[in-house]
Amino acid sequence: MDLGLANKVAIVTGASAGLGEAIARSFAAEGANLVICARRAERLAQIKKELVAKHGVSVLDVAADLADPATPERVVNMAQQQFGRIDILVNNTGGPPAARFEDTTDEMWQHAVDLMLKSAVAMTHAVLPGMKQRNWGRVINVTSIAVKQPVDNLILSNSVRAGVTGFARTLANEVAKHGVTVNNVLPGFTRTERVEYLAKKTADETGTSAEDVVKKWERDIPMGRLAEPREFADAVVFLASERASYITGVSLTVDGGWVKSLI
C-alpha cells in the first residue's frame, strides 16, 4: 500500500528515544523528510545520520526543551526555513513523574501542563496556518491509554493528557473543512525507557521486582505481551497518510486490548 508520504515534511517531537524515535524511523521508511526535536542533541544527530544513510531522506535535528515556551516557535521557524512547509505534526513528549495526588506540588502540575498541553497547543498554532492554506495537514498527538482508563500513580499524566484529548477533539471539527485531520494515538504498555521507569517505580513502592511488575501488566493485556515501539509508530504513520484522509477526531488505542471500555 502506497501511503503517499514520500517527500512530505513531518515534525516529530520527543524523537531521541522510545516512541518518538520509532515514529521518526517509520516516517523515514515511507520517504518523508523529517524535523526531529528533543533535548538530547548527540542522540538526535546520530538518528539523523542513520536515517539519511538508510533512507536518503532529508532530516533537520533540533535540540530543544518543549517545556520552554519559546521552543515551539523556534522549532517551526527552523523547519520552515529548511523545507518551506510542514505537512505533518506529531506532538510527542515524555511523561511527568509518577506520583499520587498528595505527593504532587504546584510546580509539578505547572511543568506537566507546560510539557504536554501547552507545547502541543503552541506547536499546532505555529503549523496550522500553512496547513489550512494548502488544504492538507495532519496533527497527531501521542497521549496515553490513561485518558480512557486511568493508570494508578499517574495523576499528572492522567489529568493533563485528558486535556490534550479535549483540545484535539474540538480542533478536529474546526479544521476538517480545510483538509486538516487531528487525531490522538494512545500507547499502551510498550517497551520503552518510560515503561522501564514506571515498572521500577511500581516495584520500589510495592516491594516486588520490575520483572514481576511487567509480568503482571502482561497478564492484564489480552495479547499477553508488551508492544514494540514500531507497532505503535506504524499506527501513527498510517493516520498521517493519504489513506487516512477521512479519519479525524479519534483517539486510537494501541494497547493489545488493555483498555476495557466499549469505545
Contacts (Cβ under 8 Å, ≥6 apart) of 154: 95, 98, 99, 144, 146, 198
Evaluate whether residue 123 is within a structural domain. yes
Single pTM value for the model: 0.95
Evaluate whether residue 214 is within a structural domain. no
Evaluate whether residue 204 is within a structural domain. no
Q: Mean pLDDT of residues grouped by 10 in the chain (263 residues)? A: 93 96 98 97 97 98 93 95 98 91 96 96 97 98 94 93 97 98 97 90 89 93 97 98 97 96 84
For residue 242, what pLDDT is reported?
96
Evaluate whether residue 248 is within a structural domain. yes
For residue 262, what pLDDT is reported?
85
Domain count for the chain, please give it. Answer: 1
Evaluate whether residue 212 is within a structural domain. no
CATH of the domain at 161: 3.40.50.720
Residue span of the structural domain in which 113 resides: 9-188+228-254
Evaluate whether residue 206 is within a structural domain. no
The C-alpha cell 515501539 sits at 229
Evaluate whether residue 240 is within a structural domain. yes
For residue 2, what pLDDT is reported?
87
Evaluate whether residue 88 is within a structural domain. yes
